[in-house]
Amino acid sequence: MKKILKRMTGIFLCVAMAVGIFGTTPAFAEGEDVSAQNTQAQAAQWPTGPEVQASSAVVMDASTGTVLFEKDADTPRYPASITKIMTTLLALENCSLDEVVHFSATAVYENEGGTSHIARDLDEEMTLEQCLYAIMLESANECSYAVAEHVGGGDYQKFIDMMNAKAAELGCTNTHFNNCNGLPDPNHVVSARDMALISREAIKNSMFRKIVGTVRYEIPPTNKHADPTPLNNHHQMISAYKGRQNLYEYCVGGKTGWTSDAGNTLVTFAEKDGMTLICVVMGCSAGGQYSDTRTLFDYCFDNFKLFNVSQNENRYENTQSTGNSLFTEWNAFAKVDSTAQIILPANANFADTQTEVNYDQTSDSILGTLVYSYGGRQVGTANVVTTGAKITAYPFGEKSGTVSKNDNQTELSEKSAETGNDAQNKNTSATKSNTQISKKKLLLIGGGVVGAIIVVLIIWLLYNNIRRIHRRKEGRDRRFKTIKNNRKWNKRGGR
């Protein structure tokens, strides 16, 4: 009996939470026709992007990971020095900025020559922070190699393995690193989409953002250089070091790249109206990397906008005036992450999206994830998270001595009513009425469930009693029959 009761109670709680938190499985307002939503999905159109001369290009929204524009995004290409974004990211994730980096003979003699460098000497020492500024601003190849050796514990190949492992972790599928600085190598390739994924991870790091957003930096004297070493950012959309013609007011940083095999490559970060975009262009002619990047940024900033999910999502609530949906009542225990955003074309509405609930990333604090799509593209996600409230206090009544949000609102409305404002009096009465209806419905639901459980228990008990009575009757009948047969046998002289 105890096992049965536990099972019934568990099933009841699971069903209540599933219905109360997430509503029905389809994510649309109550009463909305499914066919209408399918029609919306078919009508949803992604804006047509501009023409660019780059061989490959991607624009990705940093907050959602949504690709807003792509051209030949998955073809592996030589990345040149934008490789150093991954080198810098791994150094920041695995080391402290004040660690001392030693320059080996390999770092100095095999990574300078005709390549970009800042003329470091054998056995020179610099802090990791100084090296990273040299890597990202001046694209110093010898600094990149020295950092790779340092992070790999003296083992350069170990660092290359770390680069490929990190790429796989980030979901890169058309990438293989074979060096830390992007010098030409047939086995060193990255696709534009993968480079955007790597850059998105890097821009999450505050120190990375600071470095790539720095226009000028100075390395103080070292054990091999008596004079300071000035560094200038070579990205022309943020720095006027090579002229002002390509400056872009929304640019917050990036990384340049060029080799004769790769052509011009460029990764750029830009922010406008709360939107952070990542643009990757590869295989560009001289100057084309900047004109393409500007064109793509202007297109995306003009044609897309961000939506905060928690401020716009209401399809899991009953839109009728009673306001008595289960999702509304269960918000004491679950809510949509207040920081979650999705990105949509500027002419689209939040209600034009389709959603589904994903349970792959659930944890103690995450109950599920709302996955949003528009026009067949995923445009963002939002976690449904716990609030920390105790389920035992809900829904059959609030704890004694506490005042709920609705109670506070009612009290404020009542005080407002005392001023003689008739309109506010009507609104207050309607709010109180809706609240009472909602609570009555919950009490009826709770009472119904409890009543159902009691009925099941009574039926179970009656069934067991009937079975016991029946078994006792059968036992008495068998004993009576035996006694009767024995008496007949005795009368016949069988004994």
In the residue annotation, 199 being an active-site residue is answered as no
Question: Taking residues 18-34, what's their average pLDDT?
Answer: 41
Global pTM value = 0.71
Residue 453: band (very low, low, confident or very high) from pLDDT cuts 50, 70, 90 = confident
**Active-site residue (options: 56, 63, 116, 139):** 139
**Rounded distance between C-alpha atoms, residue 389 and residue 237, angstroms:** 49
Q: What is the pLDDT of residues 195-210, one digit of tens each?
A: 999 999 999 999 999 9
Of the candidates 193, 362, 367, 212, the one whose C-alpha atom is nearest the C-alpha of residue 281 is 193
224 is annotated as an active-site residue: no
Local structure of residue 189 (DSSP, 8 states): B
pLDDT tens per residue across span 138-149:
999 999 999 999
Strands (E), 26-182: 56-61, 67-71, 100-102, 125-127
Q: What is the pLDDT, as a whole number, of residue 43?
A: 53
**427: exposed, middle or buried (Cβ count in 10 Å: 0-12, 13-18, 19+):** middle
Chain-centre distance for alpha carbon 338: 12
List, for residues 337-364, the tens digit of each pLDDT value: 889 999 999 999 999 999 888 888 788 7
Contact between 126 and 98 (Cβ < 8 Å): no
Query: Where would I find the beta strands (DSSP E) of 5-63?
Result: 56-61
Asked if 69 contacts 300 with a C-beta cutoff of 8 angstroms, the reply is yes
Q: Which residue has the higher pLDDT, 332 or 35?
A: 332
Catalytic residue among 56, 81, 191, 199: 81
Cβ 181 vs Cβ 90: under 8 Å: no
For residue range 257-286, list pLDDT tens digits in order.
999 999 999 999 999 999 999 999 999 999
Q: Which helix (DSSP H) or strand (DSSP E) does residue 165 occupy?
A: helix 156-169
- CATH for the stretch 56-305: 3.40.710.10
Catalytic residue flag (residue 84): yes
